[in-house]
Structure 1
Amino acid sequence: MLMDLILEDLAAIDDKLSQRHIDLDPGGYFIIYLDRDAGLIYAKHFTNVIDERGLAIDPETGKVIPARKKVERTYTTVFSARTAKELCVKIFEETQPPPVTQLNHAAYLGREFVRAEVALVKGQEYVQD
């Protein structure tokens, strides 16, 4: 009973924080997904340009990239690894310069990679936050 309340409180905190405004990283963004058969976490990196309104613009078309709609774009790099830590090392330590330019973006990716790893290990669905 008490544990259920604590888990609900933690979920409420996370849900609230997921609704906050975050400035986009000029270094680009990542789409994270799993390949269960291969036992890998993938992170596709896409470049973007941030306009004066703070919106991501496709560098090729000049059009705003919608946040909630599927868009066909060409990724610049795809990273894969078996664990969250291995993926972080590849992106933040082995890739120079790293494709992430903001600390809040790096922290977000670390959290998402851990969530993806847990989903992979436990056979659960993973949906990027």
Structure 2
Amino acid sequence: MNITFEELTTIDEKLSKRHIDLDPNGYFIIFIDPEAGLIFAKHFTNIIDDRGLAIDPETGKPIPAKGKVERQETTTFTARTAKEMCVKIFEETHPCHVTMLDHAAYLGREFVRAEIALLNGKEYIQD
């Protein structure tokens, strides 16, 4: 059975709306620089409160999921490929900034999407 691009997109869009538990070690903002040919991943710390919300450790306020947030990253990783980025974050950084397997899987998928966007000269927007 062949699956269409539209069917794949529908599956991914539905899965993107599911609930996920947040990693207590923080989160990443991913973007690309097409001219430099690089993927960037900025790591930010957070605290997860009893409601499951990410809290800014400096202000004690919830971090909004949408919109621009002015925070200072703890680390910025750069790489040319998804695999290179995963090696830097998961194998070379001790202690690792990622403590949950679902978070690691999500990041791997996003790094591949970013790499594909770089290779195809397309815009990348983190899911």
Taking structure 1 as the reference length, the TM-score comes to 0.96
Cα offsets for 1:28-86 (capped at 9, x unmatched)? 00000011111100000000000010000000000000001211000000000000000
Structure 1 unaligned residues grouped into runs of 5+: none
Looking at secondary structure, tell me which structure has more helix per residue.
1
Within 2, Cα distance between the matches of 1:47 and 1:88?
19
User: Which residue of structure 2 aligns with residue 29 of structure 1?
Assistant: 27
Query: Aligned partners of 1:7, 1:90: CA distance in 2, in Å?
Result: 32
User: Partners of 1:89 and 1:121 in 2: how far apart?
Assistant: 20
Please say if 1:39 is aligned against 2:37. Answer: yes
User: Within 5 Å, which residues of 2 pair with 1:47-66?
Assistant: 47-66=45-64
| Equivalent of residue 109 in structure 1, options 103, 107, 113 | 107
Q: Counterpart of 2:116 in 1: which secondary structure? A: helix
Alpha-carbon distance between aligned partners in 2 of 1:107 and 1:59, rounded to the nearest angstrom? 25
Matched with 2:122 is: 124
Letter in 2 for 1:120: L
Q: Distance in 2 between matches of 1:35 and 1:7?
A: 27
Structure 2: runs of 5+ lacking an equivalent: none
Query: What secondary structure sits across from 1:78 in the alignment?
Result: strand
**How many Å separate the matches in 1 of 2:7 and 2:31?**
27
Residue identity opposite 2:11 in structure 1:
I
Q: What residue identity is the alignment partner of 1:115?
A: R
Letter in 1 for 2:17: Q
Deviation at residue 7 of structure 1 after TM alignment: 1.1
**Quick one: percent identity of the two aligned structures?**
72
Structure 2 distance, partners of 1:48, 1:65, is 8
**RMSD value over aligned CA atoms?**
1.2
Matched length:
127
SS of equivalent to 1:106: helix
Question: Which letter maps to 1:93?
Answer: E
